[in-house]
Amino acid sequence: MVDERTERDKQSLIEVLKELPIIQIACKKSGISRATYYRWRKEDKYFSQQCDNALKQGNEYINDMSESQLVSLIREKSWPAISFWLRKCNPKFKDKIEITGEINSPRNELTPEQQAIVTEALRLASLNVDEGTEEIKNNEDNQNNEK
């Protein structure tokens, strides 16, 4: 009897997540505590997978609904909606970053501390540190030779 009720509660929660992919609200609507939800996920891998799928479906549902609302606003000639759509969906209107500066401006060499930071960054990026630092050194040498 308890197992049947638990399964019904789990399925109820999954159905809510498919339409409203916010765990706190889905738990509240289903009458289940967040602690119970996370305990069930931890104890029941199948339930966990079902929840992941339901959350994905719920996000897709919300995205579809949002796009529909955005299109409605565009039809109503809402400039913020039009601007948003163009900046996010049309390459001609995407936000751009402009970098300015002199090409032949003098470059300072890295301090030992800066070199250590670059070496660590390359290591964390899973590059071969020797290759990465050699490439930096070669670039610096090339720049110095150009002067």
Helices (H) and strands (E) in the chain, counts: 7, 0
For residue 122, the model assigns a pLDDT of 85
State whether 56 and 24 are in the same domain. Answer: yes
Tell whether 118 and 83 lie within a shared domain.
Answer: no
14 and 58 together in one domain: yes
Query: One digit per residue, pLDDT tens: the chain, 147 residues?
Result: 779 999 999 999 999 999 999 999 999 999 999 999 999 999 999 999 999 999 999 999 999 999 999 999 999 999 999 999 998 888 888 877 777 766 665 667 888 898 899 888 888 886 554 554 455 555 555 555 554
The pLDDT score that the predictor gives to residue 100 is 74
At 54 the pLDDT is: 97
Q: Which pLDDT value is given to residue 147?
A: 46
Range of the domain at 125: 112-146
**Residue 57: inside a domain:** yes
Q: How many separate domains does the chain show?
A: 2
Q: Is residue 101 part of a domain?
A: no
Is residue 37 located within the same domain as residue 71?
A: yes
Statement to judge: residues 73 and 117 lie in one domain:
no
Question: What pLDDT, on a 0 to 100 scale, did the predictor assign at position 136?
Answer: 52
Distances (CA, A) of 93 to 83, 87, 89, 96, 105: 9, 5, 8, 8, 31
Q: Do residues 81 and 33 both lie within one domain?
A: yes
